[in-house]
Structure 1
Amino acid sequence: MTKRICDFIAKNMGLIVLAIGVLSVVFPTPLGSIDTIWINPLLGVVMFGMGLTLNPTDFRIVFSRPKDVIIGCLAQFTIMPITAWLLTRLFQMPEDLALGVILVGCCPGGTASNVITYLAKGDLALSVGMTATSTVLAPFLTPIITWLLAGTFVHVDAVSMFFSILQVVILPILVGFMIQRYMPEFTKRAVAYLPAFSSLTIVLLVGIIVAHNAGKLLTCGLLVMLVVMLHNICGLTLGYGIGRLLRLEHKKCVAISIEVGMQNSGLASSLATLHFAAYPLATIPGAVFSVWHNISGAIMARVYGRNER
């Protein structure tokens, strides 16, 4: 019974995130009463879960198939940041929202991308390898690219962001990885429930961020939703297109598409909360992206799965 509930939660994460997002706008008080100080620990819990599932073999793909990983990571850290910057200029977004969109674009791939790639019958090994690699690169690339794209209109402390990502992302992953290495029995029992547990943690994370910004979402929500949807769709389509242009097989193209299109948007909201308190709307794009990319990911899993070649 418990396993069925966990499977249901993991498979329907997109709908659950959407539901909690809508409820948090309509009834913001319950989750709005939770202090935003909990955003970082909650994200750390998700990253800890990722560490529990990581295996040294996940990094072997970097050495056994370096071309695929390099293509994927280059696409990840060019398509999404540049597209984010272009969209903020095209729609002449206010500085707060523009910063939030750029932060989303500069973050590594999200952990949900591996599940979506599996459901889409893509190259799961490549997806996991890309997620692991882009996450390891994030402390260096995310602050630098954010500084390059957003530093012209806001102050970006790249060094401080570097240490924040180490603390919120890398450290929990390392702890999870070490527990997996030295407590294998515990890990075996925990892994069966991790997708559902991580999904619920992400749901709570999104709910808190949305609830704290419910009023602002009602005033600028349509613009943010439009830009976030376009950003995600561009990532999905351009990621697949680059794979095809370089004559990669369909499964690899699917993995790159999903990995590029699905960002660690929780990290974007966390960085906005930590480092850009003077720009309160900067947390909103990450929250909206967290809702939307799970929905679009589920849709693309069906589309790609049906068109497997």
Structure 2
Amino acid sequence: MQKAKQLSDIINKFFTLFVLLIVLIALFLPKPGTLIATTKVGNLSAVSILLMIVLFGMGITLTPADFKRVAQKPVQALMGTVAHYVIMPFLAFLLVHLFGLTGAAAVGVILVGSAPSGTASNVMSFLAGGDVALDVSIGLLSTLLAPFMLPLLLKMLAGKWVDVPFQSMFLSAFEIVVIPVALGLTVHMVFQKHVQKIINVMPLVSQVMIVLIILAVLSANSKTILAVSTLALIPIVMLHNLLGYLFGFLFAKLLKMDTAQQKAITFEVGMQDSALASTLAISFFEPASAISAVIFSVWHNISGSVLASIWKNH
């Protein structure tokens, strides 16, 4: 278990470099990733199963104390969740119209904006000296609300470009998100004396699963990834993330939260669960609509690390 933790720490430290390596593999050796993207196990795609493993890992780290924490600080957690589901979706909507995006590109940007907060935000908040308990609470609430909020926001903001199957997407998101989290929580509660070994290895498992998801999405789009229209998404995705940080910070400042809470809200608003966004994109829309999520996955780890470092040192 100690070796697994050490390997996990190494991957976490150099995660962005690993992702860039995966990008090269997907571009020049797309066959393995394409096989993952097209494989199905029953009604579930292999990519969905990979994400379910990640969310099971999230669930197994939870305890009733985490839910108690939400109940003890309901206002901050609720306001942070509201900020996340207001700021990022509507920033995506504005950027799509500002840059004249249409079709799969527009759907992809809005899909990322409508996703719950990413688990990487917890790490960034910890490194920056933020309120990690608040961060975890917002992440938990936004994730549990995702099956309803994600298809609703997508229907509202991207309905002109694509037919959003609300019921199917709700059921799929519930199956992919809520059930694994609930199962992980249940396992923790039932086997709490023996579960620590699993908890220690889950970060490594989750990191590997996320890398495989990125590989699958990029490989499925390997022929179009270097197109001008795709490369044009990079500055839009970067701007989306950075504006999310800015407005998240200003929102917390406006509510007169303390410094640690401001940091937590900033990361919770600006960092998205891009793995979920890419998984749903592949399942329900054109594969190209998943590209924004992959770009976001790479970029927000870079920007989050830089921001956490700045806050830590100042």
Range class of TM-score, shorter chain: over 0.9
C-alpha distance in 1 between matches for 2:129 and 2:24: 31
Which of 211, 217, 239 is the matching residue for 2:225? 217
- Say if 2:42 is the partner of 1:40: no
Give the match for residue 280 of structure 2.
271
Alpha carbons 2:131, 2:263 under 8 Å: kept: yes
TM-score normalised per structure 2: 0.93
Please, what is the CA RMSD of the aligned residues? Answer: 1.5
C-alpha distance in 2 between matches for 1:210 and 1:130: 29
**Cα shift at 1:4:** 2.0
C-alpha distance in 2 between matches for 1:66 and 1:266: 27
C-alpha distance in 2 between matches for 1:292 and 1:6: 20
- Say if 2:272 is the partner of 1:301: no
C-alpha distance in 1 between matches for 2:270 and 2:138: 12
Which of 51, 67, 83 is the matching residue for 2:91? 83
Give the match for residue 20 of structure 1.
22
Which of 221, 232, 236 is the matching residue for 1:227? 236
- Say if 2:126 is the partner of 1:124: no
What secondary structure does 1:169 align onto? helix
Q: Which runs of 5+ in 1 are unaligned?
A: none
Alpha carbons 1:118, 1:124 under 8 Å: kept: yes
**Cα shift at 1:145:** 1.0
- Say if 2:67 is the partner of 1:65: no
**Cα shift at 1:135:** 0.8
- Say if 2:122 is the partner of 1:114: yes
Structure 1 residue identity aligned to 2:128: A
Alpha carbons 2:217, 2:294 under 8 Å: kept: yes
Give the match for residue 240 of structure 1.
249
What secondary structure does 2:209 align onto? helix
Question: Cα distance 1:259–1:141, how it changes in 2: closer, same or farther (>3 A)?
Answer: same
TM-score normalised per structure 1: 0.94
Which of 52, 60, 63 is the matching residue for 2:60? 52
**Cα shift at 1:48:** 0.4
- Say if 2:170 is the partner of 1:168: no
Q: Give the % identical residues.
A: 39
Give the match for residue 188 of structure 2.
180
Q: Which runs of 5+ in 2 are unaligned?
A: 39-44
Aligned length: 305
C-alpha distance in 2 between matches for 1:38 and 1:271: 12
What secondary structure does 2:232 align onto? helix
Question: Cα distance 1:210–1:186, how it changes in 2: closer, same or farther (>3 A)?
Answer: farther
The worse-fitting range, judged by mean Cα deviation, of 16-25 and 186-195 is 16-25
**Cα deviation digits, residues 114-152 of structure 1 (max 9, x gap):** 112111111000010001011111111111111110112
Which of 96, 104, 111 is the matching residue for 1:103? 111
